[in-house]
Amino acid sequence: QARFIDGLASRKTHVAVGVSDAVGASLRGSVVQGACDVKVILNGVDTGLHSPLADDGRLRAELGLSPDTPILGSIGRLEHIKGYDYMVEAFARLRAGWTVGAPPVLVIAGDGSERQRLERRARDGGVEGSIWFLGWRDDVRSLLSAFQVFTMSSRSEGTSVSLLEAMSTGLCPVVTDVGGNA
């Protein structure tokens, strides 16, 4: 229904903008109608603000984690489209097969309608004590400094600003190949 309405609106629009080549192609292929042009303006972040930082230790202290515990982290809305159910399942598999060194933990910052379901899924998957759901946070730079890997499991994305911020700080991303993430 939304694509239908967007298509109707595009008939009265001069330009539609996508935030990645994938979004631009999707707009051209199945949304935009009539003479509306499609332009791509890539998402970006302030690389000066989101530069590599040394771990300030605050997150590890807050969670009681030792310095050798690897932290996999994600920041985003806990909604179905963001695929956090995939992330919890993948993390449970990773933990089950972990054999060398301290096992990793998963830290998820953000909130949304899926939070209780995800917490239940973590409990049912046997990783409840290894996943922290932090809720909404305003200390993103501090969180990113503590992560060893940034992870994102979205079912659909344009180009994620959270992903760009994480990459700008030097984090290795492990993400689903959707939209502009690649």
pLDDT one-digit tens code per residue, 9-43: 888 888 989 898 988 888 888 888 888 899 999 88
Nearest to 67 by CA among 154, 146, 178, 135: 146
pLDDT tens, 145-154? 999 999 999 9
> Could you tell me the pLDDT band of residue 182, with boundaries at 50, 70 and 90?
confident
Q: What is the pLDDT of residue 77?
A: 96
Q: Please calculate the CA angle 109-110-115 and round it to the nearest 5 degrees.
A: 105
CA–CA gap between residue 103 and residue 98 (Å, rounded)? 6
Q: What percent of the chain has pLDDT over 90?
A: 71
Question: pTM of the entire structure?
Answer: 0.87
CA-based nearest residue to 149, from 32, 51, 33, 69 = 69
Task: Report the SS3 class of residue 12.
Answer: coil
Confidence of residue 53 (pLDDT cuts 50, 70, 90): confident
